[in-house]
Amino acid sequence: MSSNPSRCSVSGQAAFVDLPANWKLRVLPTADDLAAESTYLIETITCDLARRPSTADSATGDDAAPVPSLRKLHLALSGGSTPKKIYESFARTYFFKQVLDKKAELNLWYGDVRMVPDAHADSNARMVTTALDGSFPDNVIHAVDVAAPAAEAAAKYAAQMLELMPTTDVGGVAVPVFDILLLGMGPDGHTASLFPGTDAPAARDAVCVTCMPGPDVKPRVERVTVTAPVIEAAKHVVLIAAGAEKKEAFRGLVASDAALAEHKEWLRPVIRLLRGCKGAVHLLVDKAIAEGCFRSKCHPVDNNVIEATTGADNGAAA
Ligand code: 6PG
């Protein structure tokens, strides 16, 4: 994967930003702009995929007879507070109904869940279904069995994915291929429910695992989460993050290895797993995160959207 380190000054210290060729970075002025741009991006990708003729993408992909007009789409939704506005926007536009009208069979999944009852205030399922406000048919969303013990729920959810989704081989493990996988990011660099200091980020022999985050994480409840190989295999990874408290994690995400060697304090191992992604990676962050991470000439927050891709003239090369 070619990468094109760009030299930027971060408050006078030399630092390198390295955006792999399959990454696209968008920096938005506000959290509302971030939600609007993310909604537009997900709708654009989904509609584009929905328009494409279906391939024999049933469970194992090669033996099932192609279903002529029905395209199956698999979107993994993220928990946390940042994506809520996106889901509310989907509900307002009846986006999912539009997709279905395009003769696509839509499947919504959870990239990770907190093992609490669906009615619980910390439930990702509650956040998602409340925000989507019934703007999708009941059978579209695949729920995690939060009443079961976490390990059992993780195994069942993984089996469901492998049964209903196209798969690919990652290191000898059959992994479901999501069309879009939506992710958030915590200040500690966690994504989905792959938390630093646990075994979950390193798990590569399973599709879903359990994870009990450390004492500083709120809510500190057990989670079921997809693993790194699932994130790496997704066709489109859409990472959205807002808030200055995530600036260091963002630096740890975009910095080159050389910069990390100079600035070990930026290293957030979990979020670096995005560098293993084979598909397109869309990073959408707000000004509060990106401010100060780029050289003033390419300071990306002067009331416009900055798109930075490899080799893009973001003024960093000077
Ligand atoms: C969860 C999430 C988690 C989330 C980040 C960011 O269930 O907590 O899936 O990975 O995306 O913690 O959360 P915020 O969007 O609330 O900052």
Tokens representing residue 125 in the block: 């399922």
DSSP, collapsed to helix, strand or coil, labels residue 211 as strand
The model's pTM:
0.85
pLDDT at res. 267: 80
Distances (CA, A) of 117 to 92, 125, 145, 170, 275: 26, 9, 9, 33, 34
Q: Domains of the chain by range and CATH?
A: 23-48+70-306 (3.40.50.1360)
pLDDT at res. 98: 67
> Which residue lies with its CA nearest to atom 8 of ligand 1?
80
Whether the pLDDT of residue 101 is over 80: the answer is no
Bridge partners, residue 6, by sequence: 17
Q: At what angle do helices 31-51 and 84-93 cross, to 10 degrees?
A: 50
Q: 153 CA to middle of ligand 1, Å?
A: 20
- Of ligand 1's listed atoms, the one at least distance from the Cα of 191 is 10
Whether the pLDDT of residue 68 is over 90: the answer is no
pLDDT, tens only, 248-276: 999 999 988 888 888 888 888 788 899 99
Whole-angstrom Cα distance, residue 281 to residue 161?
Answer: 22
> Which residue lies with its CA nearest to atom 11 of ligand 1?
184
* From 38-42, 49-53, 62-66, 238-242, the region with the lowest mean pLDDT: 62-66
Q: Are 281 and 24 in contact (CB under 8 A)?
A: yes
Whole-angstrom Cα distance, residue 258 to residue 271?
Answer: 17
Nearest to 248 by CA among 199, 178, 196, 187: 187
pLDDT at res. 236: 98
pLDDT at res. 55: 54
Percent residues over pLDDT 70 in the chain: 79
CB-based pocket (< 6 A), ligand 1: 78-82, 112, 114, 124, 184-186, 190-193
pLDDT band at 81 (very low <50, low <70, confident <90, very high): very high
pLDDT, tens only, 177-232: 999 999 999 999 999 999 999 999 999 999 999 999 999 999 999 999 999 999 99
